[in-house]
Structure 1
Amino acid sequence: MRTKIVKQIFKKEMIDILRDKKTIFMMIILPLLLYPILMVGASSIMSMSINKMEQTTVNIAFNNNPSDNLINILNKTNEYDEAKVNIIKVDDYKEALDNETLDAYVEINENNDIQSYKIYTNSSKNNSYTAEKRIKEALEKYKEEIVEMNLAQEGLDAQKTLEPITCETLDIAKNEEIAGNILGQILPFILIIGVLLGSIYPAIDVMAGEKERGTLETLFTLPISNLELVMGKYMAVSFCAVVTAFLNIISILISIGFMTLTAGIANEMGIPKFDFTQMIFPGIITMICIGLFAMVVSAISMCVCSLAKSFKDAQNYITPVMLIIMIPSYVSMIPNIELDGFTSTIPVVNISLLIKSVLSFKFDLNLIAIVFVSNFAFMILSVLLLSKMFNSEEILFGNNRSFSFLEKRSNIKKGTMPTISDGAILYAVGLVLLIYVGSLVQLKFKMAGLAITQVMIICLPFLFAYYIKTDFKKTFSLQKVNLKQILGGILIWMGGFVLINLITQITLYLFPQNMEVAEALTDAIIIKDNLVLNLAIVALMPAICEEIFFRGFIFTSFKGKSSSKIAIITSGILFGFMHMDFLRIIPTSILGIIFAYTVYKSESIFIAMILHFINNSIAVLVSHYPNSELVKMSSFIELDFKSLNIGKFIILICISTVFIIIGMRLFKNKSAKEVSVRNY
């Protein structure tokens, strides 16, 4: 894929999008105006309405003459607001309530020195609520005066008799936490709607609008690939959606800032004044969430709009998509539903709850990682689906009856190698299955669930390889290895092991809460009294299954049309993200890079399998024998961050570097025959 061509397509699409005034309004003007109108305007109108109600004169009638004390209490309410109370007389209170000449009618009855009051109102009239509220407040104060007077006559202290104990609730939550909790219930839904508005119209324009203008056929006559065309269009739509999302956030922050500075409006919504600097990290996470979500929605919108023949058809097609996305976003407003292991995997719901949790200062980095990875997987699948749809003339110009997500390979000879697209499809499908099937199976069946997940992981590349009629031996690097290569791989792994442990310790020092999560995961899976079973399922099966998946199919697919360095690094990073654990993403990515390097140098996957088995076996042995010599040897790598021994840190880095350099040199000495065969 040529980046220059993609940039030109992106530039062309952005010019077309910005020519549409409706798109500019939805993308720029609406976000900047919507939230001040909704938040500031609505709260101001509500405040004005309440003030108006409190300043309205209410008319009250009694069946009997009330006591002077009660009349005085009713009139004293003017000390707290500007409303006036008129005591009037009526003949028919029902008729008076209906025609609004009377707002409330009070019936006074006496029975054995006990007075009872019945308040008649007409709830369909505006002032009845105000009159009812005023009468109840006055009667409550009047009752307190009578009680105090009766107790005084009996020689009793009113406070000691009626209130022998006092109760007071003190909220220790910070203003930032209170404000975040309130905003976390409202903002996710508003932001998701903003992203929808920012992505839908550009998607309609670059897809259905292109067809309606008759320029899509011209684009296909240019010397560019469909992937370049798709990526250029997708980047344009995603850029518009992300810009709209960020404008939404900026507009909301400005509105909230104005509301907090204007104490009256903020108090009406229950938002206290708070320090904006405390919201920097939640704001960054929110922006990343919305940006990633915008890219997912952009791809989905483009897929739907590609089915339409005109702008009007696209609007009809996109309406159900808006409803499907909008309804789950309401979850942030539902109490007692929080981000957890289950909700973090549900599309739209996870974004809404993640924004709610970070704004409430509830940070769980592992759940954040799961949300990011799951949305990243959906983004990959959506983009791949879009690229496949662009390869189908029936979808773009025909009757939409013929479409297949996976290309038909019936006319392809055996021995074809997987492409980058094949590797991306396999990874996205595997990631989605791992999130929605593997995690549930492991939680329910624990060790057996882990074994089932590994079987699923190895079946996917084998089935895909069979479908595309690939050469299994080349794709999965099924070559023999020698002892020298094995020794070189072990030395590189030893150097990486030291480096990985240092990174893990630094991560745990910065985020100590992840230690509990890591220990809980280990205890949930490993069976303490069965070493052989643990080695088989935790060490041997992943060493085979995950290597076939990553260093077999994924690495080969990326190695085909990209440089070896990019393929090694990319497959390693994808390996790290597949584990969906914040603590292990960087260390596991480094392991994946080491394994991919050994496969590239030796052209054999068996070295990576051996190293993978050794690495996982050490974790199993440490959990079984916490007081063994192995643990004592590995304790040398531990750092004391309180004293921060820089000398020990430098020594460990040097040891890691030496092991890696020696191991890499053992891979370089190849015979001339081997080099010529590779070049051939």
Structure 2
Amino acid sequence: MSWKNIKLIFLREVRDQLRDRRTLFMITILPVLLYPMLGLGVVQMMLTFSEQKRTVVVLNAKELPTDPAFLSEDGIRDEWFPGGADDAKRLRAVVDLPGSADETVPAGTHKARSDAELLKSGRQLHKKLTQYQAAAESEEDPAARAQIRDEISSELNDSGIQVLVMVPDGYAEAIAALQTDSSVSDDESVFVPKLQVLRNSADDKSAVAFGRIRNALNNWEDALRATTFEKAALRPELQHPASLEWIEVARGEEVAANVWSKLFPAMIVIMALTGAFYPAIDLGAGEKERGTMETLLISPARRVELVMGKFMTILLFSIGTALMNLLSMGFTGQHLASAMGAGAVEAVNLEFPSAAALMWLVILLVPLAALFSALCLALATFAKSTKEGQYYLTPLLMVILGLTMFCLNPAIEITPLYSVIPVVNVALLLKGLLLTATQSNDLLMYAIPVLVSSFGYSMLALWWAIDLYNSEGVLFREAEKFDVRLWFSNLTRDKEPVPALPEAVFCFIVILFLQFVAMKYMKPDLVGTDAVVGRRVMQTMVIQQLTMIACPAVFMGILLTTSLRATFRLRMPTLSSMLMGVGLAVLAHPLSVEVSSFVVEYGFLPAPPEEGLARISKLLSSTDLPRWLIITVFAVTPAICEELAFRGFILSGLARGGRLKVAIIVSSLMFGIIHMIPQQAFNAALLGLVLGLLAVHSRSLFPAMAFHFVNNTMATFHGRGGFGIKPDGVFFSETVFSEESRMLRYEMPTLILCGIGMAILIARMISDLRAEQVEKRELELRSFDAPASDANNLAAGI
């Protein structure tokens, strides 16, 4: 690989992108203009909305106490509002006191209604509300109550009233009775009727008005309480007997970090993807549309150099777009906070994060942008046109948005599991580092797995892009026109011995979808531990294996392929391969148990649900169920059904084209995913690697079935009490959860012996496969170099 060629291609692509006005607008002009304009617009709309007057109607105002008075001649007294007269001016208070109703319509009021009209509407609403409350107390027909409630909501929306305050009769008298004990005997209590406030929280105008009137009523209530205590000759301290004091220890920079920790991780993910989105389409599908792809391919540069040059160009624009957006957003937020005054600065501190946090932001941006750049380049290369490229990249954008929303949850923090999940790992680590400097040292331990895994995913995506560039069928394929009838006729007519890659992926999606849908309907059958319910649970498990795992694979094999023997590897195995499958299962079981326990005990994966574990444990240890039935359900059925699907149909489809390594890895990941529970998924994915290698090495499904059967049988006996093995403290030990619950554990000498044995058998299988590949390659070369007659003899195996 020539870095000189890569540099030339990189500079060429950068110059082409910089000549594109759309690219320049997206990465420079848009971030610089978008956030200031958006911020000013939002602030202006908020100010405009908050400055508008909202209408509050007070009925039966004469019944309000006069000490302290809630109302004045101009409406609600200014002193009850946090902002004083400024807040009071934002409310149009209409009261039914004599001489207060104004027949004229004030300028700028909602729906241009006079005080008299508003009071009339308020009384009608009060009458309806009284009917509704009476119906609720008498427990009348719920439909009638719902109808009255709907009428109240509709009339409130049409009345021009945002909040209706209804003062009950005798309210002032009851308050006065509370303020003095002269009219109340020792065994008599004062009943204070409820002052009711009607609002519509679904209406923003009503919600704003309610917030203002609630603050005023709360402040008035505090003053009324103080007056009541004074007149009743009670100690003022009794108003707040708990004597609470709120102490705030957060510094200004910590408050700012809390704000940035919610904004920066989401923005860095979205903007890094957006920055890679458009250049990738232009450098991939755009080259095909412009007809310049052929010119590039006949240049002296190799395909890998072309991909590297384009990848570096997309990476540059992805990083540049993210940084430009973050800087513009940060400076805009600071400027707007300072422009809105001291109150806004105190409420939301937007001081920039520390230099260390910003450094980590840039460091974590690089692998994230590399992953997005490689993925977008690969998808754009596969597309025939820019329109088709957008179709491929839009689902990627939707998935990334979903992962970003997940990371914004305050309850989600980085864990060993999340540190290796793409996109999530970077977002959560950056959120934690920005949140507070005091926790940074604890979080830095996750930096290595986050960076290593992120760069690893980037390399895989880049390898995929290079592989696509080496495929002439991808580079020069025509745009696909989907026709359902033509597609179905091709399925039934143009069959091949083994499934294609899309068919294998579709089979996995069908299995996963059926598993997801069945969770709701299977749950009632998975409750209970007695013999009857236990049998129903096992029947459900067998049905689930047959209908949701085996049937989709078998039906697709019958429908889409011409050779079930080749698709499902139904060849008679050798005795050595069967013994190897059994031996690998015996050696793998102790390692599987201890690795699963390790990842849970040390927090790498969450523990399985305790309820489910207890239920399965009781089911396995039940004496009412015969052992052969338990072995059939937990060992025989999964060994047949799951192997037909994953080492049969799916592995055959993924391995088409000779990519055995990729097929084994991907099929094992799929096998892990369908187990749903993280611990089981991790364990199944590791065992899936061995199962896939065993199936490919033996060219038969039966050794994999034997491995699966023996492994599940051992797990079943392990759950029933541990094979009757007595712990010796050297090779075996025991963990006691309770008198009835014990678990056999394998000590280090046992694990070392099993690990060595597995390593020897796996190394032998890999060596045999490599030797077969070398022999096949030599045969192809001999066939190519030999004369035609000799080549035919070689090809025929003579």
TM-score bracket for this pair, using the shorter chain length: 0.5 to 0.7
| Counterparts of residues 627-642 of structure 1 (less than 5 Å) | 628-629=723-724, 636=731
TM-score, structure 2 as length reference? 0.52
Cα distance per residue 1:191-249 (max 9 Å; x no partner): 7864775465346635775566354687899999xx99999999799868965885589
| Counterparts of residues 163-174 of structure 1 (less than 5 Å) | 163=239, 166=242
User: Residue in 1 aligned with 2:107?
Assistant: 98
Inter-partner Cα distance in structure 1 for 2:634 and 2:510 = 19
User: Residue in 2 aligned with 1:618?
Assistant: 714
Q: Which residue, 375, 399, 406 being the options, matches 1:354? A: 406
- 1:458–1:546 Cα contact (<8 Å) kept: yes
User: Residue in 2 aligned with 1:124?
Assistant: none
Shift of 1:594: 1.8
Shift of 1:371: 11
Aligned-residue sequence identity (percent) comes to 21
Inter-partner Cα distance in structure 2 for 1:23 and 1:153 = 74
User: Residue in 1 aligned with 2:25?
Assistant: 25
Distance of aligned partners of 1:172 and 1:576 in 2 relative to their CA distance in 1, 3 Å threshold: farther
Cα distance per residue 1:334-362 (max 9 Å; x no partner): xxxxxxxxxxxxx6784354223366449
**Larger relative contact order (Cα-Cα within 8 Å, sequence gap ≥ 6):** 1
Specify the structure having the higher radius of gyration (Cα): 2
Shift of 1:26: 2.1
The answer as to 2:487 corresponding to 1:395 is: no
Inter-partner Cα distance in structure 2 for 1:621 and 1:171 = 58
Cα distance per residue 1:297-331 (max 9 Å; x no partner): 8888899984859xxxx99x99xx97x999xx8xx
Inter-partner Cα distance in structure 1 for 2:726 and 2:359 = 40
The answer as to 2:594 corresponding to 1:502 is: yes
User: Residue in 2 aligned with 1:515?
Assistant: 607
- 2:334–2:351 Cα contact (<8 Å) kept: no
Which one is further off, 285-294 or 426-435?
Answer: 285-294
The answer as to 2:669 corresponding to 1:583 is: no
The answer as to 2:753 corresponding to 1:655 is: yes
Which one is further off, 536-545 or 90-99?
Answer: 90-99
- 2:514–2:548 Cα contact (<8 Å) kept: no
User: Residue in 1 aligned with 2:569?
Assistant: 477
User: Residue in 2 aligned with 1:59?
Assistant: none
- 1:204–1:305 Cα contact (<8 Å) kept: no
Cα distance per residue 1:1-55 (max 9 Å; x no partner): xxxx99999998776545423124324664577567757x6787799999999xx
User: Residue in 1 aligned with 2:347?
Assistant: 268
Shift of 1:485: 3.1
Cα distance per residue 1:406-458 (max 9 Å; x no partner): 9947886864x55xxx23x2443234223332123144225526633554433
User: Residue in 2 aligned with 1:434?
Assistant: 511
- 1:260–1:271 Cα contact (<8 Å) kept: no
Q: Which residue, 543, 552, 562 being the options, matches 1:451? A: 543
- 2:507–2:553 Cα contact (<8 Å) kept: no
- 1:493–1:594 Cα contact (<8 Å) kept: no
Inter-partner Cα distance in structure 2 for 1:21 and 1:133 = 48
Shift of 1:520: 2.6
| Counterparts of residues 49-128 of structure 1 (less than 5 Å) | 97-98=106-107
Distance of aligned partners of 1:307 and 1:37 in 2 relative to their CA distance in 1, 3 Å threshold: closer
Q: What SS is found at the alignment partner of 2:606?
A: helix
Inter-partner Cα distance in structure 1 for 2:215 and 2:666 = 70
- 1:210–1:216 Cα contact (<8 Å) kept: yes
Which structure 2 residue ranges, 5 or more long, are not aligned? 53-65, 90-98, 110-114, 116-168, 176-206, 425-456, 527-537, 736-745, 780-796
Aligned AA (1:610): A
Distance of aligned partners of 1:149 and 1:666 in 2 relative to their CA distance in 1, 3 Å threshold: closer
| Counterparts of residues 146-545 of structure 1 (less than 5 Å) | 148=226, 152=230, 155-160=233-238, 163=239, 166=242, 194=271, 197-198=274-275, 201-202=278-279, 205=282, 209-210=286-287, 213-215=290-292, 243=319, 247=323, 268-269=347-348, 306=385, 308=387, 350-351=402-403, 353-357=405-409, 360-361=412-413, 395=479, 408=490, 415=497, 417-418=498-499, 422-423=500-501, 425-445=502-522, 448=540, 451-466=543-558, 469-511=561-603, 514-517=606-609, 520=612, 523=615, 527-528=619-620, 530=625, 531-545=627-641
Inter-partner Cα distance in structure 2 for 1:619 and 1:236 = 49
Inter-partner Cα distance in structure 1 for 2:171 and 2:704 = 94
Inter-partner Cα distance in structure 1 for 2:495 and 2:716 = 45
Distance of aligned partners of 1:307 and 1:153 in 2 relative to their CA distance in 1, 3 Å threshold: closer
Shift of 1:294: 8.9
Inter-partner Cα distance in structure 1 for 2:422 and 2:102 = 65
The answer as to 2:603 corresponding to 1:603 is: no
User: Residue in 1 aligned with 2:648?
Assistant: 552
- 1:535–1:617 Cα contact (<8 Å) kept: yes
For this pair of structures, how many residues does the alignment match? 593
Distance of aligned partners of 1:240 and 1:534 in 2 relative to their CA distance in 1, 3 Å threshold: farther
Inter-partner Cα distance in structure 2 for 1:464 and 1:228 = 37
User: Residue in 2 aligned with 1:344?
Assistant: none
Distance of aligned partners of 1:575 and 1:24 in 2 relative to their CA distance in 1, 3 Å threshold: farther
Inter-partner Cα distance in structure 2 for 1:360 and 1:177 = 19
